[in-house]
Structure 1
Amino acid sequence: MASVRDAAIARRSAPKVTDAAPDDAELLELLGVAERVADHAALRPWRTIALRGAARERLGAALVAASGFEGDAAVKLAAKPLRAPLVLALVLSPRFHPKAPEWEQLVAAAGVGHLLSLLLDEAGWGVMWRTGPFTRNPLVAEMHGLAPGEQLLGWLYVGGRPEGRRPGRPSERPAPRFSSID
Structure 2
Amino acid sequence: MSALDAVRARHSWSKVTDDAPTREELLTLVTAAGRVADHSSLRPWRLIEMRGDDRLILGKAIAKAQGDKDPSSKPMRAPLLIAVVASLRKSGKVPRWEQEAVASGIAHTLSLLLDEAGWGVFWRTGEYTRSKAVAKAHGLHKDEELLGWLYVGGKPAGKKPGRRKSVDARAMLTRMPAKTKKKSTK
TM over 0.5: yes
Q: Distance in 1 between matches of 2:26 and 2:129?
A: 23
2:130 is equivalent to residue 130 of structure 1: no
Q: Deviations over 1:37-81 (max 9, x none)?
A: 0000000000000000000000000000111024xxx45xx1100
CA contact (8 A) 1:58 1:143 kept: yes
CA contact (8 A) 2:13 2:162 kept: no
Q: Distance in 2 between matches of 1:4 and 1:166?
A: 22
Gaps of 5+ in 2: 179-186
CA contact (8 A) 1:45 1:109 kept: yes
Q: 2:108 maps to which residue? A: 114
Q: Distance in 1 between matches of 2:42 and 2:19?
A: 33
Gaps of 5+ in 1: none
Matched positions, count = 175
2:82 is equivalent to residue 97 of structure 1: no
Q: SS of the residue aligned with 2:129? A: coil
Q: 1:154 maps to which residue? A: 148
Q: 1:6 maps to which residue? A: 5
Q: 1:180 maps to which residue? A: 175
Q: SS of the residue aligned with 1:82? A: helix
Query: 1:174, CA displacement in angstroms?
Result: 3.8
| RMSD across aligned positions (CA) | 1.4
1:163 to 157, 162, 177: 157
Q: SS of the residue aligned with 1:127? A: strand
Normalization by structure 1: what TM-score? Answer: 0.92
2:23 is equivalent to residue 19 of structure 1: no
Q: 1:40 maps to which residue? A: 39
Q: SS of the residue aligned with 1:126? A: strand
AA at the equivalent of 1:180: R
Query: 1:121, CA displacement in angstroms?
Result: 0.2
Q: What percentage of aligned pairs have identical amino acids?
A: 53
> Looking at CA atoms only, which structure, 1 or 2, has the larger radius of gyration?
2
Q: Distance in 2 between matches of 1:98 and 1:166?
A: 46
CA contact (8 A) 1:12 1:166 kept: no
AA at the equivalent of 1:173: S
Q: Distance in 2 between matches of 1:17 and 1:28?
A: 21
Q: 2:65 maps to which residue? A: 66
Q: Distance in 1 between matches of 2:162 and 2:90?
A: 43
Normalization by structure 2: what TM-score? Answer: 0.90
